Amino acid sequence: MSDQKKFYLSENEMPKQWYNVQADLPSPLDPALHPGRMDPAGPDDFAPLFPMELIMQEVSQDRWIDIPDAVRDMYKTWRPTPLIRAINLEKALGTPAKIFYKYEGVSPAGSHKPNTAVAQAFYNKAEGTKQIVTETGAGQWGSALAYACNQFGLEAKVFMVSASYDQKPYRKSMMQAWGGAVTSSPSTETESGKKILESDPNSTGSLGIAISEAVEVAVQNDTTKYALGSVLNHVLMHQTIIGQEAIMQMEMANAYPDIVIGCSGGGSNLAGISFPFIPEKLKGKDTRLIAVEPAASPSLTKGKFTYDFGDAIGMTPLLKMHTLGHTFVPNPIHAGGLRYHGMAPLISALYDAGVYEAKSYNQNECFEAGVLFAKNEGIIPAPEPTHAIKAVIDEALVCKETGEEKNILFNLCGHGYLDLSAYDSYFAGDMIDYSLSSDEIDRAMESVPKV
C-alpha cells in the first residue's frame, strides 16, 4: 500500500440511502413504553413530538431508507467528508497498525450532528412544523439544529444546560448567528424547570432536565415539534452515511478495518461509523466494534440494561437501554459532551448481544491522547472523540507489542476549536478525574421504574 494520506469521494458518490440496522438485529428491539400507561407506545403517542415520517423511521424494519434529494443537496455543503490516514500518529507510536479516521469536523457546526439535524428539519418542514424546540448540552446539537432550521426556514428554540451556557458562550453565539433562540436550563419558562429550581436553586442543569423543558414546550403547541440529537433509532440511522462513505474510502485505501472505534455519549456518532460494518460482521467478518465512554458517565460499562425514562422528570416514553438512572446528574467538572444518563437502545441491545465491546477512560488520559493527536495530525479534536483516540492509541500499542498490522478506523466526530477552555484547564492541571462510584449509581438507579 502507498502512503496516501487522504481519501476523497466526489459528491455524486455520496450514499443515496441510510442503513437501518433494525433489519439486521439478532432479535427485535423492545418497544418504547408510554410513561403513564407503561404499555407499548404507538405512533399516536409520539405525534405531538415528531413528524410522522420520523416516527415511522423509528420503528421501520426496512434495511435501506432513501435520503431525500433536498437533504442530499444540503449535505453537499460539507459531505462527503474525508477519510484520513493518521500516518504521523502511527510513526509517533511506532506501531505497525494503520490508523484511519473519518473527519466529521468539516461540517458547518463542526461535528457529525448536522447529518441528522438537516434530515429532521427537512421532514418537519414537509409536515408543516413552524418551530423546533430542543435541548443541548455542550452546544453541538443546539448549533447543528439552529443551522439546519435556518436552512429550511424553521425557528429553533434551544434549552442549553446551564453549566455549558456559562462555560461555552461561543456555541451560543453560533446558534444566534443561525437565528436560534437560546435559554439557560433549568429555566423559569417551564413547569419542569421551576420544579427543579425549587428543589435545587443552584442546579447546573443536565441534559435530562433540558429535555424535560423542551418536551414540555413542544407538547403545548401544534406547530412546535421536538428534536433529539442522539439516542433514538432514526437519529442513529441518519448518521450511517458516515460509515457507508468510510466503507468506500477504506476500499480506496485497500484496507478493511479490523477495529472500528467511536466515543459514545448517546451513541449516534458511534452508530454512524460502525453500523454499516454490522452486516459483514454478522456474516462472520472478524471486525471488533468498540464504544468508548467517560469514567464519569459510564452507562454501558457500569449502567443497567433496563427500561428508563429519557428525561429527568419522567415525561418521555421509557426506553430499554443501558442507564445510570434518569435522575443521574453528571459531575459538572467533566468537560465532554458525553454526559447523558442513558445509551441508545440500538447500541445497548447490540452491546448486550455481544456485537460491541465497551471501554471507559478518565478525562486526563483522554486529553493527553488528544494533544498527542493534535501534535502529530494537526487537528485539535473535540473533548468527546479524545476518548476514541485514547482507545485507538491503546489498540495501536497492542499491535506494536504483537507486531500485528491491524487496520484501525475511528470517527473524529468533531473539532475542538470551540472547546479550547477545556484544553486550558487540562494544561493548567485543573482537570479532575472522576469515576462514578457504585454507591452513586445505586442511588440514581432507585429512581428507575420497575417494569
Binding site for ligand PLP (CB under 6 A): 111, 113, 140-141, 230, 263-270, 337-338, 382, 384-385, 413-414
Q: Which residue is nearest to ligand PLP (CB)?
A: 414
- Residues 6+ positions from 365 with CB-CB distance below 8 Å: 390
Considering the complex, state which of residue 72 and residue 387 has its C-beta at the smaller distance from ligand PLP. Answer: 387
Kindly tell me which of 255 and 329 has the beta carbon lying closer to ligand PLP.
Answer: 329
Q: Cα angle at 329 between 327 and 332, to 5 degrees?
A: 175
Q: Which CB atom, from 51 or from 265, has the smaller least distance to ligand PLP?
A: 265
Q: Counting beta carbons within 10 angstroms of the beta carbon of residue 175, is it exposed (0 to 12), middle (13 to 18) or buried (19 or more)?
A: buried
Question: What are 329's three cell numbers?
Answer: 446528574
Handedness of CA 430, 143, 385, 60 (dihedral sign): positive
Q: How far apart are CA 7 and CA 85, in angstroms?
A: 8
User: Distance (Å, rounded) from C-alpha 146 to C-alpha 157?
Assistant: 8
Minimum distance from residue 432 beta carbon to ligand PLP (Å): 21
Write down the least CB distance from residue 339 to ligand PLP, Å.
Answer: 9
Burial of 27 (0-12, 13-18, 19+ CB in 10 A): exposed
State which H helix or E strand residue 288 sits in.
strand 288-294
In the complex, minimum distance from the CB of residue 143 to ligand PLP, in angstroms, rounded to a whole number: 9
Q: Are 309 and 328 in contact (CB under 8 A)?
A: no
> 10 Å Cβ neighbour count for 120?
31
- Least Cβ distance, residue 337 to ligand PLP (angstroms): 5
CB 115 within 8 A of CB 109: no
Q: Which is nearer to ligand PLP, 140 or 224 (CB)?
A: 140
Shortest reach from residue 388's CB to ligand PLP, in Å: 9
Residue 238 Cβ vs ligand PLP, minimum distance, rounded to whole Å: 11
CB of 344 to ligand PLP, least distance (A): 7
Q: How far apart, in whole angstroms, are the C-alpha atoms of residue 263 and residue 362?
A: 13
Nearest approach, Cβ of residue 137 and ligand PLP (Å): 7
DSSP string for 298-314:
-HHHHSEEEEEESSSSS
User: Considering beta carbons, is residue 228 or 436 the nearer one to ligand PLP?
Assistant: 228
CB nearer ligand PLP, residue 257 or residue 336: 336
Give me the least distance between CB of 433 and ligand PLP, in Å please: 19
- Nearest-angstrom CA–CA distance, 346 and 343: 8
Q: Locate 91 and state its grid cell.
A: 510513526
For ligand PLP, the closer of residues 143 and 151 by Cβ is: 143
Task: Evaluate whether 299 touches 293 at the Cβ level (below 8 Å).
Answer: yes
| 312 versus 399: smaller Cβ distance to ligand PLP | 312
Nearer to ligand PLP by Cβ, of 311 and 384: the residue is 384
